[in-house]
Amino acid sequence: MKVEGDPESPLNHGRLCPIGTVTVDLVYHPDRLKHPMRRVGPRGSGKWERISWDQALDEISERVLTIREEFGPEAIALGTGTGRHHIRWVSRFGHALGTPNWCEPGFAQCFHPRVNTCILTFGDFPVCDFTGDVAAKCILYWGHNPVFSGPDGETRFNVLEALAHRPKTIVVDPRRTGLAEKADLWLQVRPGADDALALAMLNVIVGEKLYDEPFVKQWTYGFDALAERVKEHTPEWAAPITWVPADKIRAAARLFARTKPAMLEWGCAIEHTPKCIQTVRAVSMLPALTGNVDVPGGWVFGMHGLGRFPSLIENLTPEANAKRLGADRFKLLAGEGADLPAAHIPTLLQAMREGKPYPVKAFLVFGNNTLTTYANASQVYESLMKLDFMVCADLFMTPTAELADIVLPAAAWPELDQLAGLPTVAANVVLAQQKVVQVGECKADEEIFVALARRMKLELCTEPVQDVLNAQLVAGGLGITFDELKQKGFVKVPFKYRKFEDGGFKTPTGKIELYSTRFEQMGYSPLPYYEEPPESPLSTPEVAEEYPLVLTTGGRIPFFFNSEHRQLAKLRKAQRDPVAEIHPQTATRFGIAHGDWMWIETRRGRMRQKAKVTTGIDPRVIHAQHGWWFPEEPGPQYGVWKSNVNLLTDNGPPYDPAMGTYQLRGLLCRVERAHGPV
């Protein structure tokens, strides 16, 4: 009937984001997929027939097993979207099937570069201590606007509560966001230059001896090597690279180092260039050097109240793991340095298109609108059209689902049972999501995987979903079953600080590795360094002559989540059209007025969005929103080629040497007014 915020929740204290308020509209939307369908025309023709679940499961099982028999299990790939309830189940089913090739865009471009890097550097993944009793006195927001984005429901309201204590704030962002507007210091960095900025701040902290000397001496490894590395990276060196004045860089470093406790709230913007791992490394060292690790009001390690998910990766032989696309090159994404290895998406797409290094014939997609959320959308389309077999499970028909052979109706969150541990990875709060309604023939993705595993007669992934949930609770040591947790709603795990004092950090040296021994063993640089993005005003000045502006993408919209929710009238009323930010000087230069549709073009393609003329962006920079398609327009394309920013992004090499990350920001572009009807 309705959804209300839980006033007892330590995560939101009774408040809901705009998306949460329209849950009933989502669940009962007339356009929901409610039964399985089989395509009856050519791929992409938009012609479908209704089939039963038995028919769908039989056909999927037969087609997938035939491909496995003929080409090997690695010829079957699985894809999913950002970290929802079912994300770990995608890899679990793949591992049970015998394929190492599963993928999710964020594993190379969002969050997991930070997770994998921090595990190797700190031995765990640190999060901000928003739910403790001590308020931070300084918060550094780097490439993140959590008031708008609130990833995974874990930060938006906690950030607002933290700001109520009036901490000093530093914001690193090319755009003048609401946080930047009110910040003590706003560092308006050039998109793609975050590594240079971080190294310059480290230079100040080390050079002016602003670091926590007792903590650094006892609990870090490789300080002298880091000090030598950053010696040449002065604020004066960084200023022309980052577009941030040297005195402002110095002021930010001093403010962060001298104001304790301090925390770093960072986002995926730093993971959108092909040097993301060393950028993450450099930024992460700011709390480390200043002694703000696992202290009240600082950067803390979680209590891991939710046990590790049983991914079944142990089912894969060493030979199967070695076949994971990208494993031979990108060890932090697909190999030994990954917390959960995943395939490299550009390499996977090449295997679909060209059969190199071996053919990928089937793609099973769960909760992902691939055409809008993978870089270089035109190439993605070409790759998907080459497949022998494709399955898509989703809430609604999307441009991606229209390319499938079988479409399955997925359950929305009120239609399924699941566990969540928040903050993600830290799991200081463990909560039960409870099924309260059944719409049509919709099934939870988890239940689909179990049904397929049973239908295929696999040896693994066949037990009931609730058995897996109970196993996670046992592994987390909470002493509670899922049914019991449903009665409570959530459990907040008692917190302990300075856990490193009871045995050190979980790294080879037992310390925070400023100089990473594990990176060195894998053949990567053990120290952070600066490297210009492959396409930028500095690295490709010849391209900049034709494409003179710097494009940044992906600023969050509070009414949508990536490509989701544009069917929901109340949310769409809040933002009808895609918006791109442009400075008044630049707009005048190209004859563009506020509210005009304008073309944005890179070497990959072009698309159009409405101009928002604002002084909150550098005259040399354009910001375009991501995830746009138009469900109200005719299928099977639904306007996906009109305003999709991934028509502009680049998934080609060079990639991050450890993570395989490609370039989503800092690209070069040009703009012009779009004349005529849109």
Mean pLDDT throughout 629-651?
97
> Cα(21)–Cα(7) distance, rounded to whole angstroms?
15
Amino acid making up residue 611: A
Cα-Cα-Cα-Cα dihedral sign, residues 52, 55, 61, 64: negative
Closest to 464 measured CA to CA, from 441, 447, 477, 443: 447
Amino acid making up residue 412: A
Cα-Cα-Cα-Cα dihedral sign, residues 99, 102, 108, 111: negative
Looking up tokens 């003329």 gives 613
Residue 156, pLDDT score = 79
Amino acid making up residue 268: C
pLDDT band at 555 (very low <50, low <70, confident <90, very high): confident
pLDDT band at 678 (very low <50, low <70, confident <90, very high): low
Instruction: Tell me the percentage of the chain whose pLDDT exceeds 90.
Output: 92
pLDDT band at 152 (very low <50, low <70, confident <90, very high): low
Residue 287, pLDDT score = 98
**pLDDT by residue (tens digit) across 290-346?**
999 999 999 999 999 999 999 999 999 999 999 999 999 999 999 999 999 999 999
Q: Which of 14-18, 101-105, 466-470, 513-517 has the lowest mean pLDDT?
A: 14-18
> Cα(241)–Cα(203) distance, rounded to whole angstroms?
15
**pLDDT by residue (tens digit) across 465-505?**
999 999 999 999 999 999 999 999 999 999 999 999 999 99
Mean pLDDT throughout 525-547?
98
Flag whether pLDDT at 677 surpasses 70: no
Residues 6+ apart with CB under 8 A from 69: none
Residues 6+ apart with CB under 8 A from 35: 50, 51, 409, 440, 441
**pLDDT by residue (tens digit) across 205-256?**
999 999 999 999 999 999 999 999 999 999 999 999 999 999 999 999 999 9
User: What mean pLDDT is reported for the chain?
Assistant: 96
Helical packing angle, 445-455 and 87-97, nearest 10°: 10
> What's the angle, vertex CA 211, arms to CA 205 and CA 216, rounded to 5?
130
Mean pLDDT throughout 262-278?
95
Mean pLDDT throughout 531-536?
97
Amino acid making up residue 618: D
Residues in the chain: 678
Flag whether pLDDT at 158 surpasses 90: no
Mean pLDDT throughout 4-32?
93
Other C-beta atoms within 10 Å of 525: how many? Answer: 17
pLDDT band at 22 (very low <50, low <70, confident <90, very high): very high
Flag whether pLDDT at 153 surpasses 80: no
Residue 148, pLDDT score = 80
CB 473 within 8 A of CB 482: yes
> Cα(73)–Cα(82) distance, rounded to whole angstroms?
24
What the chain holds in terms of domains, given with CATH numbers, is 48-110+306-420+434-477 (3.40.50.740), 112-302+499-522 (3.40.228.10), 541-673 (2.40.40.20)
Other C-beta atoms within 10 Å of 484: how many? Answer: 14
The pair of structure tokens assigned to 109 is: 């471009």
> What's the angle, vertex CA 108, arms to CA 105 and CA 113, rounded to 5?
130
Flag whether pLDDT at 676 surpasses 80: no
Flag whether pLDDT at 131 surpasses 90: no
The H or E element containing residue 432 is strand 429-433
CB 94 within 8 A of CB 84: no
Other C-beta atoms within 10 Å of 397: how many? Answer: 23
Residues 6+ apart with CB under 8 A from 368: 79, 80, 81, 104, 105, 400
DSSP state at residue 307:
P
